[in-house]
Homo-oligomer: A and B are copies of this chain.
């Protein structure tokens, strides 16, 4: 587990755990935005929330999908987030029996913050740089928005990119908002597109309906979402 032992992750008073948990830093300002930043303003925290919006994740999977984070930093942030009521850690029942991290309802309420950041960041996205990592599910929130703009607010949509598959739970008020890999249920629509098209849609330069009409997005499935995208 990348130099990271179960004992260190557990609730214990041993000095190495305490060292890893940073003292909570505060702006000491009686302002609700400053208070929010006390909880989520540290580097990596909101990107960990992004990953956990995809449902419960194992430490190793989180680490793999947060390229650039050190194991110490990730462990420290997860401790802080648990202390602050944003996440919980639990052991899956057998035969899984691994520990997973998941958002509390309070943590999930950070979705509007991530969406606002993502929408502001659309014009910052630019082209992919040689140094940029990419995971297919990082397109989940932009595509969710594009689907909403196309009038599709509910249903399960599976998305296939060269970089991987993910699925979206549109209109989900609790539980995961998206997940990695194919949809675990029959999806209402299946979309196949390349990352150039996906980037243009994410940047808001290309509407999803237009992209379908231009043949840049292939739509499969018979659900209402698929029909709406094909027929609109």
**A residues at B contact (CB < 8 Å):** 26-41, 43, 46-47, 50, 67-68, 106, 109-110, 112-126, 128-129, 131-135, 138, 141-142, 199, 202-203
CA distance A103 to B50 in the complex (A): 28
What 7 new A-B contacts, CB under 8 Å, besides A30-B133, A33-B141, A39-B121? Answer: A29-B67, A29-B132, A31-B135, A32-B125, A33-B47, A34-B121, A112-B120
Number of copies: 2
Residues on B with beta carbons closer than 8 Å to the beta carbon of A29 = 47, 67-68, 132-134, 138
Residues on B with beta carbons closer than 8 Å to the beta carbon of A114 = 33
Main secondary structure of the interface of A (DSSP, over half): helix
Contact check, B113 vs A39: say whether CB atoms are below 8 A apart: no
Residues on B with beta carbons closer than 8 Å to the beta carbon of A132 = 28-30
Contact check, B36 vs A50: say whether CB atoms are below 8 A apart: no
Residues on B with beta carbons closer than 8 Å to the beta carbon of A50 = 31, 33-34
A123 to chain B, nearest CB (A): 8
Residues on B with beta carbons closer than 8 Å to the beta carbon of A67 = 28-29
Residues on B with beta carbons closer than 8 Å to the beta carbon of A46 = 33, 37, 41
Residues on B with beta carbons closer than 8 Å to the beta carbon of A68 = 27-29
Contacts A28-B131, A68-B27 given; indicate if A35 touches B116 (C-beta within 8 A).
no
CA distance A194 to B5 in the complex (A): 52
A121 to chain B, nearest CB (A): 3
Contact check, A129 vs B37: say whether CB atoms are below 8 A apart: no
CA distance A11 to B134 in the complex (A): 36
Contact check, A112 vs B119: say whether CB atoms are below 8 A apart: yes
Nearest to A142 among chain B residues (CB) is B32
A127 to chain B, nearest CB (A): 9
A206 to chain B, nearest CB (A): 15
Which has the most chain B C-beta neighbours within 10 Å: A31, A114, A118?
A: A31
Residues on B with beta carbons closer than 8 Å to the beta carbon of A121 = 31-37, 39
Contacts A29-B138, A30-B132 given; indicate if A112 touches B122 (C-beta within 8 A).
no
CA distance A5 to B86 in the complex (A): 43
